Structure 1
């Protein structure tokens, strides 16, 4: 059985490995990888069958919400569902144009649309998709999410954020969760994750497998450069793949409650599950990785 961790003061029990659904966004969006309806349905069922109980999505992830509702809406009791708001999007003939707009009518429309697409009466977590603390307060949007929570339409409220906006978001003291980018190749938010976690917030890590690392199908040169400059290859234990090292490093963070990985490959899902089951990296190895990477950062 997969390890579960308490998502901060929400009290929700989430699996250490979660699922990020951006990859099932479908055609006419962005990127080079397009997943069919049948393939996305099979993947969503495989995720639940593996015991993963946390799924993250957003209104501006193309067909993602709709596909989740169609494929696994009947299995709603088996997973915790997180989506986002502040999403204004326009579907063009060949691409999806995305903008984040911080107005109450946009937030309300996002939630209404999400509930319909996801075929559910509530979401477990509604997150602002970015934004600035001052704007969210000025426009009354935080109070709006609190009203949604009081009405039972959402169970908990959070934000997906990063530098430079994250510190002010944490300082508000109102969000129950934070979704934050982090991995051994991109550790810049480490101290903010600790700050939020120590304040009792639930921490959802995105980018926790660094897109698969240097062996990824879609390459990320900036991340690969850190891997090479830090000479992390030298630290790989015998038989361990690069993606496993990266994922297990993320899962080793004391304030990582779940990390959402968005694979659409059944083979990669199996590898991620195996890595998660192997548990945290030895503390000495974590320290060696952190020290080498720190020497490569500006």
Structure 2
């Protein structure tokens, strides 16, 4: 029997969103420059991307993660997801742009609003379920000094976004992001666990947590005989604060393996 995630969806904190324990990251749908993966890859064509999205949906994944900084990812997802909008929880971001092979950041209120409106058009939707601030590492300064959360709160009031938070790089930023917002996306894997206090806070306060680099972008190294995917998911899903882990594979075999392993681990931990 093929293991799926259909019966393992869980709340994303107190956002009202219900998400699969694995989400599909789509940086590889739109960008192959300046990415930190151990192996090169080819951006999938529309047929391959559609097949991967269909496979993800059939395996019980309903969470899709994109961003303006992911090259053409948003523009491609709009047409690819036509007719399926209510099947997906869409996460996008604000604050980082990627142009001509270079990243730049703009956390101003004007750019934040522009970015969300542009993402709505690209994704061919009237709402984005969750918008995260794409931090450059200066988490506290971004949250305290730019007014970006206030802008996102206004967009939430207008119904253009459902929830907001921070994809950050520091414990302090993650904690402030959760105190004032709905969700944090944090790095947490077998190699890096410094942001665990953010997960602990989220579990205590019913806030949303998404995990990035769950498999350390393919860099996890363990003793022979130990499955790194299984060990990674045992770490993640044993923590009550973790809602979903974003995996960015474009390999159908890897995707099926990840889903089967996540389903096995979560059921064993119950």
In the TM superposition, structure 1's runs of 4+ consecutive aligned residues that sit over 6 Å from their partners are none
- Distance of 1:129 and 1:114 partners within structure 2: 14
Partner residue, 2:216: 210
8 Å contact from structure 1 (residues 26, 37) kept in 2: no
- The number of residues matched between the two structures is 257
Which structure: larger Rg?
A: 1
Shift of 1:169: 2.4
Secondary structure of the equivalent of 2:83? helix
Pairing 1:30–2:44 present: no
Shift of 1:211: 2.7
Secondary structure of 1:279's match? helix
What does 1:14-29 correspond to in 2, within 5 Å? 14-26=19-31, 29=33
Q: Offset at 1:65?
A: 0.7
Counterparts of residues 256-271 of structure 1 (less than 5 Å): 256-271=242-257
Q: CA deviation at 1:233?
A: 4.1
Q: Distance in 1 between matches of 2:143 and 2:192?
A: 27
Return the match for 1:145 from 125, 149, 152: 152
| Residue 278 (structure 1) shift | 0.3
Shift of 1:193: 1.3
CA contact (8 A) 2:156 2:162 kept: yes
Q: Which ranges of structure 1 fall in alignment gaps of 5 or more residues? A: 213-219, 284-298
Aligned to 2:236: 250
Q: Deviations over 1:163-193 (max 9, x none)?
A: 26525524x7211001001012222212221
The alpha carbon displacement at 1:281 in A equals: 8.7
Distance 1:281 1:79, change over 3 A: closer
- Which of 5, 21, 41 is the aligned partner of 2:10? 5
What is the aligned-residue RMSD (CA, Å)? 2.1
Q: Secondary structure at the match of 1:276?
A: helix
Residue of 148, 157, 160 corresponding to 2:164? 157
Q: Does 1:43 align with 2:52?
A: yes
User: Structure 1 residues 121 and 282, CA, compared in 2 at 3 Å: closer, same or farther?
Assistant: closer
CA contact (8 A) 2:139 2:170 kept: no
CA distance in 2, matches of 1:168, 1:158: 11
The 1-side partners of 2:58 and 2:15 are apart by 25
Which one of 97, 106, 110 corresponds to residue 102 of structure 2? 97
- State the 1:282 CA deviation: 6.7
Query: TM-score if structure 2 supplies the norm length?
Result: 0.87
The 5-angstrom pairing of residues 147-186 of structure 1 reads 147-163=154-170, 165-167=172-174, 169-170=176-177, 173-186=179-192
Cross-structure match for 2:132? 127
8 A Cα contact 1:7 1:257, kept in partner: yes
Shift of the alpha carbon at 1:82?
0.6
After superposition, the Cα gap between the structure-2 partners of 1:6 and 1:164, relative to the gap in structure 1 and judged at 3 Å, is closer
- Post-superposition shift, 1:45? 2.0
- Structure 2 matches for 1:39-78, cutoff 5 A? 39-78=48-87
Q: Distance in 2 between matches of 1:36 and 1:55?
A: 16
SS at match of 1:133: helix
